[in-house]
């Protein structure tokens, strides 16, 4: 894995291994842990542009980054250029340098609003969104897919549009919308996008091991990789890719996850939120069926901590 610093607009990031934005997963706790594992840049969960403009109740939780704003980009979704720019200029995002525009989310409730991957249907609207966000003075990056349906290959077209509109980096998820998160990435489409622009291109999709990351870079020529579910299923993958020394084993990592979660959630919410991570943390480990069940039934963080201390 070829590590290198990257320049994104006026921002220098320490390496080219990024943590992807994942709704419901990349909250402050996971971003902080993966920054400690060596991630060059992390991305928040999807944040609604209109939610920022109108003061949505979850804004502070979604964007909270502690002392790590320099290693955190806010991923913004929306389709109205006015609200997208207004969100970039909002007080909520004042201390963040990089704003990433989501043009890849496939979920129906986002797509049906004309947001996320729906912007891949209308390059002129997508262009106006990027241009307005650039006017905010923030460093703007864009995350896209290779198309909407199998057989599409529009990543290079959108990459060129984004670059010409002022974006400073493109991430290409090497799958079409209808593939969601499964199937082999379209390496050729990412490679084509990479060779169509001069700004950095980051490759995303299907990276769960070091060999997956190596293959992605070899096949695409991309400037770096973005790790999504692979970093949840294997908390130490990014550390191995970046050759980062750390203090954690699985037990201490999970306990730190719980501690960090308590900074942004109530005890009850942190306990409930943790349940979605249980299948990932213990996948492939024998003899933990009862522990997994107990963790998913725990009533508070203290009970979770006691179970982890005894069972891991």
Domain boundary assignment for the chain: 6-242, 250-311
Identify the active-site residue in 4, 88, 105, 296.
Answer: 105
Residue with tokens 């203090």: 247
Question: Per-residue confidence at 56, pLDDT binned at 50, 70, 90?
Answer: confident
Structure confidence at residue 26 (pLDDT) = 98
Among 311, 248, 258, 244, CA closest to 282: 311
Give the pLDDT score at 63. Answer: 97
Per-residue pLDDT, averaged over 254-263, amounts to 98
Domain 250-311 has CATH 1.10.1200: yes
Output the pLDDT for position 1.
Answer: 77
Percent of the chain with pLDDT over 90: 97
DSSP state, 290? H
**Mean pLDDT within 149-161:** 97
What is the CATH number that goes with domain 6-242?
3.20.20.70
pLDDT confidence bin for 57, thresholds 50/70/90: confident
Q: How many Cβ atoms sit within 10 Å of the Cβ of residue 73?
A: 28
Q: Is 133 a catalytic residue?
A: no
Average pLDDT (149-159) is: 96
Average pLDDT value over all residues in the chain: 97
Inter-residue contact 159 to 193 (CB < 8 Å): yes
Q: Check residue 312 and give its pLDDT.
A: 81
Residue 116 has pLDDT above 90, yes or no: yes
Q: Which two tokens stand for residue 39?
A: 């991630």
The set of residues, in sequence order, having a beta carbon less than 8 Å from that of 17 and lying 6+ positions away, is 1, 3, 38, 39, 40, 213, 224, 225, 227, 238, 241, 242
> Residue 311 has what pLDDT?
86
Mean pLDDT, range 127-135, rounded to an integer: 98
* Contact partners, residue 159, CB within 8 Å, separation at least 6: 144, 170, 172, 193, 194, 196, 197, 201
Domains 6-242 and 250-311 alike in fold: no
pLDDT higher than 90, residue 115: yes
Name the nearest CA neighbour of 63 among 35, 78, 42: 42
């Amino acid at each position: 894995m070829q590590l290198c610093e990257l320049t994104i607009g006026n921002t220098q990031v320490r390496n080219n291994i990024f943590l992807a934005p994942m709704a419901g997963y990349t909250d402050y706790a996971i971003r902080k842990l993966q920054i400690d594992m060596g991630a060059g840049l992390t991305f928040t969960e999807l944040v609604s542009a209109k939610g920022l403009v109108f003061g949505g109740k979850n804004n502070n939780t979604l964007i909270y980054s502690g002392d790590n704003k320099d290693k955190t980009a806010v991923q913004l979704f929306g389709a109205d250029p006015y609200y997208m720019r207004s969100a970039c200029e909002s007080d909520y995002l004042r201390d963040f340098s990089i704003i990433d525009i989501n043009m890849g989310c496939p979920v129906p409730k986002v797509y049906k609003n004309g947001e996320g991957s729906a912007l891949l249907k209308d390059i002129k609207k997508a262009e106006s969104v990027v241009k307005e966000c650039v006017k905010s003075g923030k460093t703007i990056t864009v995350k896209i897919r290779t198309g909407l349906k199998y057989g599409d290959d529009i990543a290079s077209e959108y990459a060129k549009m984004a670059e010409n509109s002022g974006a400073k980096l493109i991430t290409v998820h090497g799958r079409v919308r209808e593939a969601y998160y499964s199937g082999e990435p379209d390496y050729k489409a990412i490679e084509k996008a990479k060779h169509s622009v001069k700004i950095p291109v980051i490759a995303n999709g299907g990276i769960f091991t070091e060999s997956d990351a190596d293959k992605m870079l070899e096949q695409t020529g991309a400037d770096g990789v973005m790790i999504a579910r692979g970093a949840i299923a294997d908390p130490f993958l990014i550390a191995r890719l970046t050759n980062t020394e750390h203090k954690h084993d699985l037990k201490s990592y999970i306990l730190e996850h719980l501690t960090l979660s308590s900074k942004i959630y109530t005890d009850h919410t942190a306990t409930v939120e943790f349940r979605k991570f249980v299948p990932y943390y213990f996948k492939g480990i024998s003899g933990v069926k009862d522990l997994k069940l107990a963790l998913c039934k725990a009533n508070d963080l203290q009970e979770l901590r006691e179970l982890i201390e005894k069972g891991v």
